[in-house]
Chain A
Amino acid sequence: MKLDLSTKIGTVLFKNPVLAASGTSGYGAILNDIFDVSQLGGIITKSITVKPRKGNPPPRIIETSCGMLNSIGLENRGIQYFLDENLPRLKTFKTNVIASIAGNSDEEYAMLAETLNKQVDAIEVNISCPNVKEGGMSFGQELHSTRKVVETVKAVSSIPIIVKLTPNVTRIEDFAKVCEESGADAISLVNTYKGLSIDIRSRRSNIGAFTGGLSGPAIKPLALYAVWKTAKTVGIPVIGCGGVMNYVDAIEFFMAGASFIEIGSATFREPDASLKILRGIKQFLEDENICCLNDIKGVIHEC
């Protein structure tokens, strides 16, 4: 029996469902010095903005129980630098390149999507960053704003559009539904959960920008639930993200209905975590005599 891990978003084929998450993988090159990133299904870039952003004041991270808070604040050198300096190298990897974009307005999202159209294999629209004052998560917390961004981006794109949702809403599945109605080709979830950590001696936040976003194993059950809810609500592929540390976590996400997974903070514990997870998935499917991911997608029994 030949194992087939390939999956599609729109017309774009991914050789396997393991993607390196945005903001935890740089632009692929650093990780590629440590392991062969071409083996992954795709690499999602750090979110790109129109103008360079210097990001938030340090400290930007603090460890928490089974996870961490971060407030990087979308530090990046802007779209032009990305096109000139990061993209050429990214294109040399034999894997799909997904550009994550973040804007302050519908116009900025449109400009980014238009510029990147056909330069990359797909776009992930980040409307879920909890660490910036303007834009960011606010686009993902009002149904009408979400609809507007997705429609705007779709209007200028011919490549698949993935929308990355924030879990900091009451019913994430409603946002997924709106994205689907607005033409999104896939949904990814979750971005980080907004959180706080306090230094009791100084009575200050442990994060320079005060609040941060929680990631890691601490959020996995929450993310899994959000993915399960969303996968039942929409027909387009769902990309699961949040605390995936090993192949068991990955399989759980598939069984909850995800077609892909993104590996985020796990990369900080082991730079080649995504590759190890991919191998673990293959091994599990072989051991269980399962030939393709579709056979386990959303198979969780609901009593």
Chain B
Amino acid sequence: MKQVSTRMSKVRDYRAVVLSNRAIDDMVFLMELFLPDFDVPVIPGQFVMIQIDESYDPFLRRPYSIFECENATMKILLKVVGRGSEIISRKTENDKINILGPLGTGFTDDEKRYPVLVAGGMGIVPLWFLATRMKQKGMDFSLVFGELTASTLGEEIGKTFQEKVLFVTDDGTRGAKATVSDALPSIVDSISHEIISIYSCGPSRMMQKVIAFGEKSDIPVFVSLEARMACGIGVCLGCSVQRKGADGFVTVCKKGPVFKSDKVVF
């Protein structure tokens, strides 16, 4: 699997209409948007910058991974963690909202390696999209989903991807009582495929452990990173992370958010 630059796709500020927005868990919202003029291909792992509203406070847009995208309909899965996400979560049917995208690099398929998707909490978003695409193509894969405690989101993941999903929870309420990183070695062992690659998104510490495991086991790991962003398009250099094995930084918004793990330190 390689990363693809999104040179070809047209980045635009789209005027979207909220079709629906509902809480699926405590503080987690699934928002369905209609982008009338949107007709560009989207790659799982890409994201959009959502303008909160007309007000200058909060000032900046907020980055959100694309959860699903089908023609002019796009879904966003949003967790309320602060002021900006709280305001966005209150949007209701017919509200208008500005969506800049599609942005960044995404994941692409590699027929030669068996994909193992490793998600922690809200890190599921880009991997849900990737899994959906793989399912549509009839590809086989495994999806490891870890969270603190069994949630409705977890239930949805189970319903949608069924036997492909391996659950872990910190409190043991669904699947193994473990953290993703602790459970990963035995999960990978239990997979019958020899040649695999890992796609991961979640808390930084989780991804760091997943990378360490990948390095030890000679498994390529692709991670989707988060960083504070201002422009989202590569003009401010505000979102940079350290390059691995070289002096200097790379932008998460333009060169990422999906990176091969040997390219960045975070």
Q: Which A residues are closer than 8 A to B by beta carbons? A: 23-26, 30-31, 33-34, 46, 52, 54-55, 57-68, 70, 72, 75, 216-217, 245, 265, 267-272
**Hey, which chain A residues are within 8 Å of B138, CB to CB?**
none
Among candidates A34, A59, A61, A68, residue contacting B12 with C-beta atoms closer than 8 Å: A34
**Hey, which chain B residues are within 8 Å of A70, CB to CB?**
230, 236, 238
Which chain B residues numbered 215 to 266 have a C-beta less than 8 Å away from chain A?
A: 227-242, 247-249, 254
The 9 nearest A-B residue pairs measured at CB: A61-B238, A26-B235, A268-B230, A54-B248, A217-B56, A66-B56, A268-B231, A66-B57, A60-B238
B57 closest partner in A (C-beta): A66
Least distance between A115 CB and chain B CB atoms (Å): 23
Cross-chain contact A269 with B237 (CB below 8 angstroms):
no
Among candidates A34, A60, A245, residue contacting B237 with C-beta atoms closer than 8 Å: A60
- How many angstroms from the CA of A66 to the CA of B58 in the assembled complex? 6
- How many angstroms from the CA of A64 to the CA of B228 in the assembled complex? 13
B51 closest partner in A (C-beta): A269
Q: Which B residues are closer than 8 A to A by beta carbons? A: 10-13, 51, 56-61, 98, 100, 227-242, 247-249, 254
Among candidates A31, A52, A64, A67, residue contacting B235 with C-beta atoms closer than 8 Å: A31
Among candidates A30, A54, A217, A267, residue contacting B59 with C-beta atoms closer than 8 Å: A217
Cross-chain contact B237 with A62 (CB below 8 angstroms):
no
Cross-chain contact B236 with A67 (CB below 8 angstroms):
no
**Hey, which chain A residues are within 8 Å of B61, CB to CB?**
268-269
Residue in A31, A58, A245 with the greatest tally of chain B CB atoms within 10 Å: A58
- How many angstroms from the CA of A24 to the CA of B232 in the assembled complex? 11
Cross-chain contact A24 with B249 (CB below 8 angstroms):
no
- How many angstroms from the CA of A59 to the CA of B57 in the assembled complex? 20
B252 closest partner in A (C-beta): A58
Least distance between A266 CB and chain B CB atoms (Å): 10
Cross-chain contact B13 with A58 (CB below 8 angstroms):
no
Cross-chain contact B13 with A271 (CB below 8 angstroms):
yes
- How many angstroms from the CA of A217 to the CA of B172 in the assembled complex? 49
Least distance between B232 CB and chain A CB atoms (Å): 8
**Hey, which chain A residues are within 8 Å of B234, CB to CB?**
26, 30
Cross-chain contact A75 with B237 (CB below 8 angstroms):
yes
**Hey, which chain A residues are within 8 Å of B232, CB to CB?**
268
- How many angstroms from the CA of A23 to the CA of B238 in the assembled complex? 10
- How many angstroms from the CA of A65 to the CA of B231 in the assembled complex? 17
Cross-chain contact A59 with B13 (CB below 8 angstroms):
no
Cross-chain contact A75 with B231 (CB below 8 angstroms):
no
- With known contacts A268-B61, A268-B230, A72–B236 Cβ distance under 8 A: yes
Cross-chain contact A267 with B235 (CB below 8 angstroms):
yes
Cross-chain contact B59 with A67 (CB below 8 angstroms):
yes
- How many angstroms from the CA of A269 to the CA of B51 in the assembled complex? 7
**Hey, which chain B residues are within 8 Å of A269, CB to CB?**
51, 59-61
**Hey, which chain A residues are within 8 Å of B242, CB to CB?**
57-58
Cross-chain contact A54 with B237 (CB below 8 angstroms):
no
**Hey, which chain B residues are within 8 Å of A57, CB to CB?**
242
Cross-chain contact B235 with A24 (CB below 8 angstroms):
yes
Cross-chain contact A58 with B233 (CB below 8 angstroms):
no
**Hey, which chain A residues are within 8 Å of B230, CB to CB?**
61, 68, 70, 265, 268
Least distance between A246 CB and chain B CB atoms (Å): 10
**Hey, which chain A residues are within 8 Å of B12, CB to CB?**
34
**Hey, which chain B residues are within 8 Å of A268, CB to CB?**
60-61, 230-232, 236
- How many angstroms from the CA of A270 to the CA of B233 in the assembled complex? 11
Cross-chain contact A63 with B56 (CB below 8 angstroms):
no
Least distance between A158 CB and chain B CB atoms (Å): 30
- How many angstroms from the CA of A66 to the CA of B248 in the assembled complex? 30
Question: With contacts A31-B233, A61-B229, A245-B56 known, what are 11 further pairs, Cβ within 8 A?
Answer: A26-B235, A30-B233, A33-B11, A58-B240, A60-B228, A60-B237, A67-B59, A68-B60, A70-B230, A269-B61, A271-B233
B12 closest partner in A (C-beta): A34
Residue in A60, A267, A268, A272 with the greatest tally of chain B CB atoms within 10 Å: A268
**Hey, which chain A residues are within 8 Å of B231, CB to CB?**
24, 267-268, 271
Least distance between A58 CB and chain B CB atoms (Å): 6
B230 closest partner in A (C-beta): A268
**Hey, which chain B residues are within 8 Å of A46, CB to CB?**
237
**Hey, which chain B residues are within 8 Å of A55, CB to CB?**
237, 240, 249
- How many angstroms from the CA of A57 to the CA of B240 in the assembled complex? 8
- How many angstroms from the CA of A75 to the CA of B254 in the assembled complex? 15
17 A–B contacts from the bound complex (CB under 8 Å): A30-B233, A30-B235, A31-B235, A34-B11, A34-B13, A55-B237, A58-B242, A58-B249, A61-B239, A63-B58, A65-B57, A66-B56, A75-B237, A216-B56, A268-B60, A269-B61, A271-B235
